[in-house]
Amino acid sequence: MKIVVVGGTGLIGSKLVTKLGEHGHEAVAAAPNTGVNTLTGEGVAEVLAGAQVVIDVSNSPSFERAAVLQFFETSTGNLLAAEAAAGVGHHVAVSIVGTDRMPDNGYFAAKIAQEQLIEKSGIPFSLVHSTQYFEFAHSIADEATVDGKVHMAPVLFQPIAGDDVAQAVGRTAVGSPLNGRVEVAGPEQFRMDEFFRQALAAWGDPREVVTDPHARYFGSELSERSLVPVEGATLGTIRYHDWPGRNVTGK
């Protein structure tokens, strides 16, 4: 089947295009650098012609509250309208575990707005809520750095490899629409501060990790289970210790 991957040249999107192609599907990467811009509408109708499924793994270039909301509302609105016109039968979007637990987080609020547009569109859909990717560990540590020290809350943390995310999203995309959500997470739970203490040591990063119950995660204070899935989540198979990128520095 023809599956259009919006954001198909990014971290998860490129993995999806490869994996879906290996399974015999016509997987098409749609992104500004392939001539498809969901913000302006450029190339959207053309790339959706004949598509049965659309997977949206696009992301906002800015995390500023107003900008990220505008991105997801505009991009998703344009995409859904074009899908309705093209007769697309399944819209799959990737979101984040815990979006509904941190309403003060501007990025999470924007993802909720995106999901609401999808749910009201009338197009059969599936939402895949993922925990944080292993690949984002460096940026999470950098965001949490205050005066040269990495402040992390002692809460549960269950990150997942990008390859496992792509596998779960691809499997969802070729199945029947859920008209609901599924959660995916890594196979192991850690305490967030301890995870980053070990991770920085493996990177050879000299920054001290400070255990701080009031440490903020991209602007939000965390509770014990803010970032981990509920019971019944689909778990990946790649453990962080076995992930090839775990010793790679972020610089």
Q: Is the pLDDT of residue 251 over 60?
A: no
What is the pTM for the complete model shown? 0.94
List the chain domain ranges.
2-247
Question: Whose CA is closest to 243, among 201, 190, 199?
Answer: 199
For residues 196 and 186, give the distance between their C-alpha atoms in angstroms, rounded to a whole number: 16
> How far apart are the C-alpha atoms of 85 and 152, rounded to whole Å?
46
Identify the pLDDT of residue 219.
85
pLDDT at site 92: 98
How far from each other are the two terminal CA atoms of the chain, in whole angstroms?
40
d(CA 83, CA 87): 6
Over residues 133-158, the pLDDT tens digits come to 999 999 999 999 999 999 999 999 99
**Which class is 2-247 in CATH?**
alpha beta
3-class SS at 26?
strand
Q: What is the mean pLDDT of residues 97-102?
A: 89
| 71-90 CB burial, b ≥16 within 10 A, e <16 | bbeebbebbbebbeebebeb
For 195-247, the pLDDT digits (tens) are: 999 999 999 999 999 999 999 998 889 999 999 999 999 999 999 999 998 88
In this predicted structure, what is the pLDDT of residue 249? 66
- 37-92 pLDDT per residue, tens: 999 999 999 999 999 999 999 999 888 889 999 999 999 999 999 999 999 999 99
